[in-house]
Chain A
């Protein structure tokens, strides 16, 4: 289980998360929802060790990840697809995937089974391997960002606004990947504003407000009680 226990996180003096708690079970899609600035991306960054905790702890499969150097966190089995993709823009598709494979510690490189599996999920990337990441379309960039994270063979996958700015067919394809990962036993933590996507694939939804976790509900609860979305997301 990926477990966040009462974590406090901030940027310098500005505290964003306050005693924030959340857990993601293996084989579930757990969606984190809230208004802009509520602390969703900060939560992702805290899990990846990009932002240090000032209190609390994060456990990945029982290992306290905030006690290990930040660069070792992916090795605990966490794949990260950040908001805005943040690809290594001047590197080729193949080199971006190499970075993911290196994080896994795979020495097989481009001939590895892991990469073959990832390219089966995103066959379009196979045709673009020597193309620079910055020359890909928005949808292809999202595929690459997701593929790079999958190269780690993660036990937990963090998806931060993966459908932002994508056309409907691409949104569907990203959703399918998230569902496929869940079916393989991967725990997916999803930050998503696209409410239809959330209702169609999430197993649980946690609402975050002013850096605190408020309520964790099932998608059915959202369908029945429209006030929750109004209260925490403003929809």
Chain B
């Protein structure tokens, strides 16, 4: 295959990865932005979303679409509910102290991971995609003095992968509308800006925190449900999304949702393209190097604002 079609293929793979990464990282960014909590267990909530998706989809018979739709509705809600419960029983008890919440979420990480291993087992299990039509992608070449269209062998994607990109875009738009246009978004932003004053104006800050933690982890679970028909559910699958989400959130600017989405596109696309042309390891090395440069030259991230002293 020529370079051009190969690049298109790599970009499509990157776009799928970027879409899921954007959803996951926006969840992490939301939690950090509003609560100032670094949720080290974020990847495990992602994994839990995938595992629950497998449980739900495999317990529902009939057309695979039924199981998938049920998983899409149930898994993020269950994970969000569990995360809210974790917030109220663990994070609230350590008073959302930045250092102690890191230790607490490391503990939560291991609990979720080991409970999943004990109940779900060590196997990687797939969820059947609701539809998976192969779509050939045309390419163009200049021959005989004119542009000709042809269908290179191997240049194709699936309808499901396009659905993942569209679904993630719709969800990100929904999150943006919630944050900027709704009353609940206003309450979250006020809490993010000054939690003490928010409380002094009647906002139940602890309830807002529980809700934000639930939504943040629910978004990670949603990303996992979308990707599990492509990647399979496994109890150790939370590590990469966690690492990449941290990379994205640091590059985008801690707590900046637009910055997180743009950084997710940057990292996801470059990860996809470099992985196809070279190796996934090189992609991770370059992403980590980029983080190092950002931390040195622009510690607040590309779109973050420097905190006032």
- Chain A positions within 8 Å of B, measured between CB atoms, are 48-50, 69-75, 80, 82, 86, 88-91, 95, 98-100, 102-105, 148, 152
Contact = CB atoms under 8 A, between A and B. Distances in A.
A99 B193 contact: no
A114 B256 CA distance: 34
B97 interface: no
B204 interface: yes
Contacts of B199: 48-50, 70-71
14 contacts: A48-B199, A50-B199, A70-B199, A71-B204, A74-B201, A82-B200, A86-B196, A88-B197, A88-B198, A90-B193, A91-B193, A95-B186, A98-B183, A98-B186
A74 B202 contact: yes
Contacts of B186: 91, 95, 98-99
A130 to B, nearest CB: 13
A74 B198 CA distance: 11
Given A98-B186, A99-B186, A88 B194 contact: yes
Interface residues of B, number: 17
Nearest to B202: A103
A129 to B, nearest CB: 15
A90 B202 contact: no
B183 A86 contact: no
Nearest to A51: B196
Interface of B: 183, 186-187, 189-190, 193-194, 196-205
Nearest to B305: A90
A78 B200 CA distance: 9
A72 B189 CA distance: 19
Nearest to A69: B204
Nearest to A49: B199
Contact of A82 (B183, B197, B202, B203): B197
B203 A71 contact: yes
A72 B199 CA distance: 8
Given A88-B190, A91-B189, A91-B190, A102 B197 contact: no
A103 B193 contact: no
Given A74-B200, A82-B200, A99 B205 contact: no
B183 A102 contact: yes
A194 to B, nearest CB: 24
B278 to A, nearest CB: 41
Contact of A89 (B183, B193, B204): B193
Contact of B201 (A69, A89, A90, A102): A102
Given A91-B186, A95-B186, A98-B186, A71 B193 contact: no
Enumerate the 9 nearest inter-chain pairs by beta-carbon distance, A residue then B residue, closest first: A103-B202, A103-B201, A74-B202, A71-B204, A88-B193, A48-B200, A86-B197, A88-B190, A99-B201
Contacts of A90: 189, 193
A98 B190 CA distance: 11
Contacts of A89: 193
A166 B179 CA distance: 34
B198 A99 contact: yes
A71 B190 CA distance: 14
A148 B198 CA distance: 12
A102 B200 contact: no
B236 to A, nearest CB: 39
A69 to B, nearest CB: 7
B194 A99 contact: no
Contacts of A148: 201
Nearest to A48: B200
A81 to B, nearest CB: 10
A80 B204 CA distance: 16
A104 B202 CA distance: 8
A88 B183 CA distance: 15
B197 A71 contact: no
Contacts of A152: 201
Contacts of B200: 48-50, 70, 73-74, 80, 82
B259 to A, nearest CB: 14
B202 A71 contact: yes
